[in-house]
Amino acid sequence: MIVDVYLDKALPQIDQLYSYAYGGEDAAIVGKRVIVPFGRGNKPETAVVLRIGKDEGKKLKSVIQVLDRRPILTESAIALGMKMREIFVTSYVQAFQPLLPKYVLGGVEEVAVKLIDDEEVAGIFQGAEALATEKIPTDKLDRLIEAKKVAVRFRGTQPVKKRVVEKYVASGDYDGPMTEKQALVFDLLKNSPPLSKAEITKRTGLSTSPVDSLIKRGAVAPADPDAAIPDRAPVLRKDQVAAIEGIAESKRPVHLLYGKTGSGKTEVYMQLAQRAMDEGKSSLIIVPEIGLATQMVHRLSARFPGKVDILHSRRSEGEKAAAWIRLKEEPGRIVVGARSAVFSPVPELGYIFIDEEQEESYDYREGLRYNVRDVAEMRVRFEGGKVVYGSATPSVITYARCGEDVELHRLVGDPKKTEASPVEIVDMREELFKGNVEILSERMVEGLEEALKAKKQAILFINRRGYSQFVSCRSCGHVIECDACDISMVYHRRTHRLHCHYCGRTKPMPRTCPVCGSEYLKQFGIGTEQVESWIKNKFPEARVYRMDKDTMAQKGNYEKVYEAMNEKKVDILVGTQMLAKGFDFENVVFVGVVAADLSLFVSDYKAQEKTYQLLTQVAGRAGRGKHKGRAVIQTYNPDNYSIQYAKERSYEPFFHREMEERKRFLYPPYVHLVKIHIRGTGDVDQVALNWKKTLEAINKHEQFDMLVANPVEQPKIKNKRHVSILAKVWPKEFRPLLKALKRVLMYYYRTQAEKEITISIEIDG
């Protein structure tokens, strides 16, 4: 038998499948990890079998060892990886790494788990509940599996650090086989409140081994500390029932749940997830920010105790591996996480819910440049299940698909509870005429004063962190830039240093201009740090918190801020766009947007859309509870259509105006944008010119009607120059272009003379 494998090597020059001879009789080898000899020195490398190969009569090296008894990648996962490689024009390694991340490849092993504790089994396991399969002879293990005395499971090899004393609950629907000791533990947890391991061992007189085994199987799960009081589903409104039934009964795989802020979209997710759970299927709930995962987990754990897992980059490697194993082994769970949770290895997929689907954070721009929406839709087409997008401000591209391949469901909300908070626009030019040169307008200060006087909370939003945005010399005009990037450095008052927000470098704030020696250095622009400082000076009695990338860098800080807001320990919360994305604090009655113009004048065809969405989302944080709220938006461009429509929360008029603009200037969804990025330290200009000629040659040869722009110099980042080339291509020509680009890219990497230059392709970015 011939098998084709991929190696986890991030070298584009070897981006291909390698064929090996396999002398075993395992017809189900596809999806398993193997050890193969690689390169001239035949160095043993771990690889994954992706398919059965063709025997072309060539002499091949042989597979040394098969590591897994069960496939670690399912057929649908392999199909997804192959499709991502094609659609996102990328390598095998980048396409499969999210499906088999490092914490799985290097942190998960196969073990045999006892099902029956008879004399034969006891002699092999020597008191252990589980044993690595490699420690049991193959023929003996086969016989024990066939006799149903043991089962093969995955186990994490890295320790999971416990932050608190964890308590456990029995999974109500688990009915798998158990040893006598395990059954004793399971029955105890089934008929008692959550217990810690110490409490379990004290009550049963057993060791922790049966508990650990039950946890690995998913029969016992950690209890959420905030889920002591179970949450019951509320009485649903007619529009929620209609949406739930419409999505559940529909034959279409992709749905948009469109409802204004506070209209109950999360309850629809939970009701549909319950239906999936009743059928033994799992659901994924994807949120745009890690901080929102905490809020979502609190709600879900109260409704589904012991059934919720969390997956995101701030979890430890051991925690992620443990969650990965639970998801793979036990159907009927709910996964909450940020972007990468879309790759969760659930055995039976019910739903993928993508909350705040319009968010740009769902577009990953490093390594595998993927879009979460595309991945989700690929998954349900391979595995079954449905994608549900949820948003109060859907992306223009998604909304344009409604009626064609996306089914639209509207939530109108409860008119008594979802009355929108009034939004006031303040023209900052008039503030200047009145002599107010402060950061906040008079109306903004009044709003804060009223909230503080009423013992309520306020949120101030500015989409830039730091104290000032750049430092310039007023004598010669020199702007201090990063030594490694063509980007102005941002002054941070807390560290009294200049920071580069692209590469992370810092340097001391100079006393004099490095060019002319003048002492007239001035900080321009404002950020969250300066707004926080201004507020503390203006309202010294107020408890002010800041929420941005700087303050949230430490693990657990999201949870701390979330809890502090809910416990009313914060009066004013200042932050960046992470505040806009779904945070639900019922005591917030005032929201202020300090500078609505920051997202307007950027080189991005989505600038108006992002501004509308951001302002609408931020304003929606006010008046979420019983108390009426209001919002104030400061701007120097009050007549801009995105700001005006955001004030009125008029999505459909905005959508139609935006579609007119995109049709006029040829932007998605009318065309696809294909951008080629050339980065490196070599002759970037020549490589860029060659790629432009290549695009023009493809255009002519394939008789496309593609528009190819000239190469554009982008800011240097981390001492690497960056040039991009933009092509606009019609939908019918899009797939043929991607195939042609993939062939060219493979040829480039195998023949390139400039080893220090990398090429990446971005779609509709």
Q: pLDDT by residue (tens digit) across 297-354?
A: 878 888 888 888 888 776 777 777 888 888 888 889 999 988 889 999 998 999 999 9
**Domain range summary for the chain, segments of one domain joined by +:** 2-100, 108-156, 167-222, 238-411, 423-467+526-662, 672-763
Window from 59-68, 410-419, 578-587 with minimum mean pLDDT? 578-587
Distances (CA, A) of 179 to 112, 118, 198, 752: 14, 10, 20, 61
Which is more confidently placed, 191 or 97?
97
CA distance 232 to 299: 10
326 phi/psi in degrees, rounded to 5: -60, -45
User: What pLDDT is attached to residue 111?
Assistant: 85
CA distance 412 to 563: 30
What is the arithmetic mean of pLDDT over 742-757? Answer: 77
The superfamily CATH assigns to domain 238-411 is P-loop containing nucleotide triphosphate hydrolases (3.40.50.300)
Q: Give one word for 18, left, alpha or beta, with left for phi > 0 and alpha for psi -120 to 50.
A: beta
Write the CB contacts of 592 (distance below 8 Å, at least 6 apart in sequence): 440, 444, 447, 448, 458, 459, 460, 461, 631, 632, 633, 634
| Per-residue pLDDT reduced to its tens digit, 483-534 | 888 888 888 877 888 888 777 889 998 989 999 899 888 877 677 888 888 8
* Residue 540 amino acid letter: P
CA distance 19 to 738: 26
pLDDT of 664 > 70? The answer is yes
Give which of 477, 467, 476 is closest to 523, Cα–Cα: 467
Sign (positive/negative) of CA torsion 94, 99, 103, 108? negative
Residue 165 confidence class, pLDDT cut points 50, 70, 90: low
Binding site residues for Zn(2+), as ranges?
473, 476, 482, 485, 500, 503, 513, 516
Helix (H) / strand (E) containing 48: strand 43-52
Instruction: State how beta strands 2-7 and 630-635 pair.
Output: unpaired
CATH number of 672-763: 3.30.70.360
CA distance 439 to 442: 10
CA distance 597 to 592: 14
Which residue(s) pair with 472 in the sheet? 479, 522
- Spatial contact of 379 and 606, defined as CB atoms under 8 Å apart: no
pLDDT of 157 > 80? The answer is no
What is the arithmetic mean of pLDDT over 234-241? Answer: 91
Question: Average pLDDT, whole number, for the chain?
Answer: 85
Give which of 546, 399, 386 is closest to 462, Cα–Cα: 546
Distances (CA, A) of 657 to 135, 244, 392, 641: 67, 31, 18, 9
DSSP string, 420-479: PPPEEEEEHHHHHHTT--SSS-HHHHHHHHHHHHTT-EEEEE-S--SSBSEEEETTT--B
User: What are the structure tokens assigned to 288, written together?
Assistant: 């745009």
CA distance 115 to 135: 17
CA distance 510 to 480: 9
User: What pLDDT is attached to residue 36?
Assistant: 93
Instruction: State how beta strands 150-156 and 108-114 pair.
Output: antiparallel
CA distance 37 to 53: 17
Distances (CA, A) of 158 to 153, 208, 220, 222: 16, 18, 20, 18
Strand order in the sheet with 2-7: 18-21, 2-7, 43-52, 33-38, 65-66
DSSP string, 625-667: SSS--EEEEEES-TT-HHHHHHHHT-HHHHHHHHHHHHHHHT-
User: What pLDDT is attached to residue 667?
Assistant: 93
| Per-residue pLDDT reduced to its tens digit, 432-441 | 888 888 888 9
Query: Could you tell me what percent of the chain has a pLDDT over 90?
Result: 33
Binding site residues, as ranges?
473, 476, 482, 485, 500, 503, 513, 516
pLDDT of 228 > 50? The answer is no
Rg (CA), the chain: 28
Q: Find which of 136-140, 607-611, 613-617 is predicted with most confidence, using mean pLDDT.
A: 607-611
Q: What is the DSSP letter of 765?
A: -
Distances (CA, A) of 22 to 3, 35, 38, 70, 128: 7, 11, 15, 17, 34
CA distance 143 to 662: 65
Window from 100-104, 380-384, 394-398, 456-460 with minimum mean pLDDT? 100-104
Residue with tokens 């020509």: 733
Instruction: State how beta strands 457-461 and 572-575 pair.
Output: parallel
Window from 254-263, 344-353, 661-670 with minimum mean pLDDT? 254-263
Half-sphere exposure of 336 (CA within 13 A, CB side): 23
CATH number of 2-100: 3.40.1440.60
* Residues recorded for the chain: 765
Distances (CA, A) of 401 to 254, 255, 404: 10, 10, 6
Quote the Cα angle for 336-623-271, to 5°. Answer: 35
3-class secondary-structure state, position 531: helix
Same fold, 238-411 and 423-467+526-662: yes
Rounded to an integer, what is the distance from CA 699 to the centroid of its chain? 35
What is the arithmetic mean of pLDDT over 385-410? Answer: 94
First to last CA, the chain: 43
CA distance 719 to 353: 40
CA distance 297 to 303: 10
| Angle between helix 209-217 and helix 317-329 axes, rounded to 10 deg | 70
Half-sphere exposure of 719 (CA within 13 A, CB side): 5
User: What pLDDT is attached to residue 161?
Assistant: 61
Number of other CB atoms surrounding residue 150 within 10 Å: 25
Distances (CA, A) of 483 to 486, 501, 504: 8, 13, 11
- Spatial contact of 677 and 761, defined as CB atoms under 8 Å apart: yes
CA distance 356 to 288: 7
pLDDT of 662 > 90? The answer is yes
Indicate the CATH number of 423-467+526-662 among 3.40.30.10, 3.90.1580.10, 3.40.630.30, 3.40.50.300: 3.40.50.300
Query: Could you tell me what percent of the chain has a pLDDT over 70?
Result: 91
- Spatial contact of 22 and 62, defined as CB atoms under 8 Å apart: yes
Burial 650-663 (b: 16+ CB within 10 A, else e): ebeebbebbbeebe
Distances (CA, A) of 505 to 158, 367, 466, 500: 32, 22, 14, 5
Number of other CB atoms surrounding residue 253 within 10 Å: 18
Helix (H) / strand (E) containing 563: helix 557-566
pLDDT of 292 > 80? The answer is no
What is the arithmetic mean of pLDDT over 278-289? Answer: 92
What is the arithmetic mean of pLDDT over 276-296? Answer: 86
User: What pLDDT is attached to residue 237?
Assistant: 92
CA distance 644 to 647: 5
Rounded to an integer, what is the distance from CA 76 to the centroid of its chain? 21
Q: What is the DSSP letter of 387?
A: E
Helix (H) / strand (E) containing 320: helix 317-329
Peptide bond into 669 cis (omega under 30): yes
